[in-house]
Structure 1
Amino acid sequence: MSITLTTAKHPPRAWKFQRVAEAEELFKQSCPKEHIDSKRLIGKSFTEDLFDTSHVSASENGFVWAVFHAYSHHHNLLLLPEDVWFTILSQLSFFIIAHSEELRHLFVSHKGTVHLEVSTNETLDTVDFGGMALAMLELMQKRIVNPDLRNWIMPAFSTTTASDEVVAAIIIMGSMQKYFSYEFALRCGIPSVTLLGECEDWALMVTKLAQLAHLGDEPARFAQLLRPVLNNFVASFDNPESPDTLSFWSKCADRRGGGSGPTYLTGWISVFCFWGNDGKLLCPESILPECSRGFQARNTEYRPDQALSRRINTDKVPSGLCIRSGYS
């Protein structure tokens, strides 16, 4: 049960500080530096009608300045457990970041930073970033040495909401930034894939790859990269709803980079861009003889990991035409 204390005899005064009218303005005034560095506000934990039904003021430290202004200007003060707990966690975050190496053994067993990625097929406008943050926390928990750390940090008060849990997850991510790097990948995703013909047709294509090795070491490497990709095409007939099949198709293509630099095509589709129009390798690598141990060590039947590590400059994606250089 909540409790109200009468701590002074004078009556309360009305709140007269500036009122913000929208989420973008709240972000700008609460986090001015971050607002300058950002491109756009992509999510919020409240509805726009909050600004119509409540007097919302911006603050760079909500709890500290709320207490100060309530005391200095005779305002009633209403506090949630989360207000205080998040302020404590934010303070602790600064300490952990500043002393990351001294404290490393208390949090993780690895050296440097480990990259963590959470992916979804949602778009920037539809993705649930709160859910993504909680999923990232689950990945972090697998690498944090103290299994009780997550439960200790997460609020579990009678007033705790789903949004509060997301806030706590983000604070944890910030505190652990010297140990982890984070990536939220929004996969465009293909709604459905239809493979025409029979399964045997696609299996036949896999057997045809063996002939490429007779043309030289580069074609042999081409076949080696293609094999796990085409095998997954075949597996799509046998296990169309398996997690492995769905994961394979979610990794077909992506576009990275941009800005003032080049953009790159990644995903297993990059294997189909092995040579440029000039017949030279688009993704330079060490081409090993097919008979070598190094080549054999690269063989894989269903895991297109080597294909996924490739990237092709989008300006150099080869033509799909077969061009004749001259006529007689």
Structure 2
Amino acid sequence: MVTFAVSPVARKTFGGRVSPETPVRAMAELGADDVVHASPTILPSCAAPNGFVHGVMLAYNGHHDLIIRPDDIWAAIMIQFGRYVNGAPDDVKSTIIHSGSSTDLVLTIPGDNVANYDEIAANLVQRMQSILVDPASLEWMLPSFTTTTPHDTIIGSIAMLASMNEPVCSMPTMQCGIPHVTLLGSVADWMDIRARVERFAALGLPGWAKMLHSTLDKFVAATEGCVDEAFWQHMVLDGDASDARYVSGWICVFCVFANDGAWQCAKGWTSIETTPEDEDQYPTLRLDQVPAGYVVVDVKLEDESSCYDTVLLAGHMAYGVQDGATIVPQLGWAIVFQNALNETDAALITETPDAQRSQTEVLDEMTPTSECDESDDGDAPCSQVAATITSSHDAHLELPQPSLPLSSWAVVLVQVLVVVVAISITAGVRWSHAN
């Protein structure tokens, strides 16, 4: 672990609303009976469409410290890779999974409704080994870092809410920044991630591999004690950029694929009409182009007499708040009855004015996670680009608590990661297009 100073800005206390409940409550309007299970929440958190990217942006704009783990970075990378594969031609998919493989998932629970999640996860992993062209790729997909916990291993790339609120106040100067960054894990962990991304070049993604290489080199260097302050100061905005409607820093390497798998850097390195320079290596994205940080996978849940349509939500669905002033991206998962998501999905993917207004109404319910501070040593107000999603049914939602000890969940979720990642890169995944 290493902690280093990044910006001279004063560290500020987080002023937004946090909740000890699982963030899946804010990802859809769910009733108490709709959630089959949700992973436990480690820190009070704020739900967000992309808990990693939005958490970094909030830390930058709110002058909060930031903690990043190797698992957060690898999860964000695999989310993007899943988007790419799902949007790729069949000849690309065929290098990952066997042609014609069925990816329907059925989970069987005993008559007493007490599911053996260890057995279910093991069976699904065995199933995916038979579907993948190279079963050894499971080891490549699976995080195995010194920091790996149950919440670091479920990743994906399906959006429920693919856009975020416009900034609620302007950012006319570059007075925002992150006071301190803490990188958890060992030097070997970060070198491991750096080595893993080399495979993307062989998978037809040399441009993305190049961006990831240069970015991860800075992570490795920082853990070795060589901190490039200029690099860390440009996490959200690159160079002299100051337009709060865009994101242009290196955080964009985790946003290069849209929710439908489309490459968002078609015009050279950028997504806007510019002439790319050699140093202009990161894409420039509008805030509404930041893709979702979680997936939704269809799952059949069976007992001895019934079969239920459910979905598995997994990935960065929130960012946590530690010690009142530190942002920590959070990974989590939940199994939800499918009827809880169908209506919301339809509203988001239907390209009609009514559907667009419906999505706007959802976004209008977002409340900034922190307020613009105009009185702190005369600093200019910052752009609050991350928001807490609230639900009109929030007061009525009560989610079941995990029935297994945390040590058991660690084994279960590490195994379930493999299933979610492998399934999310197959044609059987139901992709939700928010734009």
**TM-score of the aligned structures, taking structure 1 as reference length:** 0.45
More strand by share: 2
- Of structures 1 and 2, the one scoring higher in RCO (CA 8 A, sep 6+) is 2
- From the two aligned structures, give the one with the greater helix fraction: 1
